[in-house]
Amino acid sequence: MNWSWIAYPEYIHLLAVGLLYTIILLFGSVIVGFILAVPLGLVQVTGPAYLRIPAKIFCSFIRGTPLLIQMWLLYYGLGSIFPSIPWIRTSFLWPVLREGFYYAMLSLSLSVAGYEGEIMRGAFLGVPRGELEAARAFGMSGWKVLSRVWFPRAVLQVLPTLAGEMISQLKSTPLAFTVTVMELMGARSKISSDTYIIYEPLILIAIIYMILTFIITRGFNYLERLIPQRR
Amino acid sequence: MKLTKRLLLAAATATLLFSGTPAFADLKFGVDVSPYPPFTSKDASGVIVGWEADFMAALCEEIKEKCAFEATAWDGIIPALTSKKFDGIMSSMSVTPERMKTINYSHIYYNSAAVIIGNKSDDKDYSPEHLSGKTIGVQIATTHANYLAKYYAPKGAVIKTYAGQDEANADLTAGRVDYIMADGVTLGAYLDSEAGACCEQKGAVPIDVEILGPGVGIGIRKEDTALMDKINAGIDGLRDKGFFEANTEKWKLAGKLILPKDMK
Amino acid sequence: MFLVIAPLSELLTYGNTGYLDELIWGAVATIQISVFAYAFGISLGLLGAMGKLSAGPIIRTLLNFYTTVFRAVPELVLIMLLYYAGTDGLNRLMLSVGVGPIELNGIAVAIFVLGFVQGAYSTEVLRAAIQAVPLGQVEAAKAYGMSPITAFRRITLPAMLPYAIPGLGNLWLNITKDSALVSVVGALELANETRVAAGGTKYYLTFYLIAALFYWSISLLSNFGFSWLEHRVRRGQPKLA
């Protein structure tokens, strides 16, 4: 096995930056995705048809198409429109529209939103009707029922799945390298193309991903023990 | 009944596994799956056409073999060769000392200048100092990427790498990169197209033979010495017949390629 | 000049000037890859599940290693590793046995690679499903004197199907989407064909939307298929909550 390339500081730097990008993409997409998932799930349970149907279609599309295609659709699809909008290069949005990183982040977040939206829908449906009726009987307004009873109960149901979702997202982050983001997979791509060594960099990042998975799983085990199990 | 079903299934699986690229091709050449006009690109009927496609057809006629292309991702093309997915690489692959540690090369069959292109609104200066802070797009695992890493990145240019040359071109059209460095002929094809209307060639980069290589050759595994001799004989034969000049004329690249007769 | 509503009538013609035949070929390749890799993965999963439940400690440790590693590492990394190492290793194996190097085309390699990755996931799904079969039924089968194979075929397998179908349905959807990943190593299925078509014509939005619609329709049809399957397999069983 040829591990001599690890000695080069520029490759270590590349891998470190790649790891940082991976972690930022992971946490960013999960947080934003979850925030989007809550209204997506809620609106499919109670919303008016003009909100419910688009939400349903959105979740179905995200869950039914490959993440790779979604990412390419966003990055290259939007990119192909830019030449016909000449003023876009001088607008304030340009620094964001230029960088593949934001497209990857958006695509990953929408992916989380689509999958978790479906799960949140089930969670909102699963809160016992009795509790909601009691809250309304108390005279709570619709918003209060939502924020004090419905939402907390639904979210607590969903939290145990958060670990699995996070690991699933971690395994989706390598796709970002196809849109010029230099996360771990992008770093190994550069190392492999410089040194012509193919297996060892792949094995190294496989190990890194396994370690990250292990850390996430242990972290969530710890958190779950902290949260008191109130039933 | 069950037996027939199972036999049918087995037969289907067998034909599936051994189908795809024509089983009767004795020689397979690896090529970049991304389009690289005018050398290799897929036309609308799915056939690979271009200067290099014609070269392969002529070469195989010369050495009396049946050949076919096998498309693969560019950054894995050398590992694919060494793991025997095909017998040679014919994808405008430059000969460099670094690559020669892993594979061998046939005689060089063309050479062309490496250029930098950019927006028409930018000036013609393309020195590393002038491009500091700008974003330059390049295809990954190319001699151009190595060149940029050696000369332009240390001066502060941001290098963005792409899996295929056409993706880099698309981002130049979209404005996500300011410049692209690649082979002059393929970028010429891009500049002539509608997508390249935004941009122009800034100039050829100062040559560094060790990084850019003296030209393009067919990559062959180190142990395939017999195949190497065969292919070299074929290339020399074509050179003597004037094939390269005729092919260059056909694809309207006269003057842009340095051909074997003018080398060595 | 919006590149969205591209001249579809020109682009999507069959034959030499339009891309429709390439897209159809890519779609067929995607389905081929998905179906065969799924079958391969489920076979591996069955072997793995049975191994985990009834084999000795060495095999169980190996299987644990297999499922842990293959489910913790991103599919893309595994696909790349297996793609380069797989044919290399397979050919060396063949040479050591004395058979010449077999020529597997890109699709066959994709099937092997994806199937191997799926095997790890289906091992877990099938193991959980087999374990969910009430032990009493298995014991009764043994009491009747059924051989292990007969017991498995007649009792365990039908009983475990209702528990397995939801998980297996998910795995099928995953594999149809993961088949797009093999485009990164250059295998010619739908995602790659659309990338080449888009790259050739610059109509990125159009072609990627077409690809997305195709995958979407596969997933919608599969959902119907699996609901029907679950319904059938649950005949005569008490309904779920």
- pLDDT tens profile C78-128: 988 888 877 777 777 777 776 656 666 778 888 888 998 899 999 998 998
pLDDT digits (tens, 9 = 90+) for C37-49: 999 999 999 999 9
* pLDDT at site B46: 75
- Using a pLDDT cut of 70, give the percent of chain B over it: 89
What is the distance between the alpha carbons of residues C53 and C127, in angstroms, rounded to a whole number?
Answer: 7
C212 and chain A: CB distance < 8 Å anywhere? Answer: yes
CB-CB neighbors (< 8 A) of B195 in chain A: 83
User: Would you say residue A214 has pLDDT above 50?
Assistant: yes
Q: Which of C80, C202, C203, C205 should one mutate to test binding to chain B, selecting the residue with the greatest count of B CBs within 10 A? A: C202
* pLDDT at site A220: 87
More reliable by pLDDT, A69 or C19: A69
CB-CB neighbors (< 8 A) of C16 in chain B: 43-45
* pLDDT at site B22: 43
How many CB pairs lie under 8 A apart between chains B and C? 89
CB-CB neighbors (< 8 A) of A76 in chain B: 167, 170
Specify the 3-state DSSP secondary structure of B35. coil
* Confidence tier at B13 by pLDDT (50, 70, 90): low
What is the distance between the alpha carbons of residues C180 and C29, in angstroms, rounded to a whole number?
Answer: 11
The neighbour count for residue C220, using CB atoms within 10 Å, is: 12
User: Would you say residue C241 has pLDDT above 50?
Assistant: no
Which residue, B189, B213, B16, is CA-closest to B110? Answer: B213
Minimum CA–CA partner of B174 in chain C: C202
* pLDDT at site A228: 67
* pLDDT at site A9: 87
* pLDDT at site B264: 47
Which ranges of B68-152 would DSSP assign to H, the alpha helix? 77-82, 97-100, 143-147
CA distance C127 to chain B (A): 27
* pLDDT at site A20: 95
Q: Is the dihedral of CA A191, A197, A198, A203 positive or negative?
A: negative
Mean pLDDT of chain C: 83
Q: What is the pTM of this model?
A: 0.87
pLDDT digits (tens, 9 = 90+) for B135-189: 999 999 999 999 998 999 898 899 999 988 989 998 998 888 999 999 999 998 8
User: Would you say residue A196 has pLDDT above 60?
Assistant: yes
pLDDT digits (tens, 9 = 90+) for C142-201: 898 888 888 888 888 888 888 888 888 889 999 999 999 988 887 888 898 888 888 877
Q: Where are the beta strands (DSSP E) in A86-173?
A: none
Minimum CA–CA partner of A100 in chain B: B176
Contact C3 A80 (CB under 8 A): yes
CB-CB neighbors (< 8 A) of B80 in chain C: 84, 186
- Do the beta carbons of residue C207 and residue C190 sit within 8 Å? no
User: Would you say residue C30 has pLDDT above 50?
Assistant: yes
Q: Which amino acid is at C240?
A: L
Give me the residue from A69, A80, A209 closest to C211, CB to CB.
Answer: A69
What is the distance between the alpha carbons of residues B103 and B77, in angstroms, rounded to a whole number?
Answer: 11
Q: What is the radius of gyration, based on Cα positions, of chain C?
A: 22
* Confidence tier at C2 by pLDDT (50, 70, 90): very low
Q: Assign residue B255 a region (left: φ > 0; alpha: ψ between -120 and 50; beta: otherwise).
A: left
Minimum CA–CA partner of A83 in chain B: B174
pLDDT digits (tens, 9 = 90+) for A124-183: 888 888 888 888 888 888 888 888 888 888 888 887 788 888 999 999 999 999 999 999
Specify the 3-state DSSP secondary structure of C4. coil
- Give me the mean pLDDT over the A64-91 stretch: 87
pLDDT digits (tens, 9 = 90+) for B219-243: 999 988 888 998 999 988 888 888 8
CB-CB neighbors (< 8 A) of A83 in chain B: 173-175, 195, 198
- Give me the mean pLDDT over the B26-54 stretch: 87
The neighbour count for residue A171, using CB atoms within 10 Å, is: 21
Give me the residue from A60, A65, A210 closest to C73, CB to CB.
Answer: A210
* Confidence tier at B72 by pLDDT (50, 70, 90): confident
* Confidence tier at C5 by pLDDT (50, 70, 90): low
More reliable by pLDDT, B255 or C240: B255
User: Would you say residue C240 has pLDDT above 70?
Assistant: no
Q: What is the radius of gyration, based on Cα positions, of chain A?
A: 21
Q: Which residues of chain B are at the A interface, by a Cβ-Cβ cutoff of 8 Å?
A: 75-76, 78-79, 98-99, 101-102, 135, 140-141, 145-146, 149, 160-163, 167, 170-171, 173-176, 195, 198
* Confidence tier at A58 by pLDDT (50, 70, 90): very high
- Do the beta carbons of residue C68 and residue C48 sit within 8 Å? no
More reliable by pLDDT, A208 or B197: A208
* pLDDT at site C154: 86
User: Would you say residue A99 has pLDDT above 80?
Assistant: yes
Mean pLDDT of chain B: 85
* pLDDT at site A148: 85
Give me the residue from B45, B70, B85 closest to C15, CB to CB.
Answer: B45
Minimum CA–CA partner of A175 in chain C: C76
ipTM: 0.86
Minimum CA–CA partner of C74 in chain A: A171
* Confidence tier at C53 by pLDDT (50, 70, 90): confident
User: Would you say residue A118 has pLDDT above 80?
Assistant: yes
User: Would you say residue C33 has pLDDT above 70?
Assistant: yes
* pLDDT at site B252: 85
Give me the residue from A79, A189, A193 closest to B171, CB to CB.
Answer: A79
Q: What is the DSSP letter of A90?
A: G
Contact map slice: C 141-200 vs A, CB within 8 A: 173, 176-181, 183-184, 191, 194-195, 198
Contact map slice: C 64-93 vs B, CB within 8 A: 80, 83-85, 87-88, 91
pLDDT digits (tens, 9 = 90+) for C202-222: 788 888 999 999 999 999 999
Minimum CA–CA partner of A203 in chain C: C81
Provide the greatest CA pair distance for chain C: 76
C105 and chain B: CB distance < 8 Å anywhere? Answer: yes
User: Would you say residue A8 has pLDDT above 80?
Assistant: yes
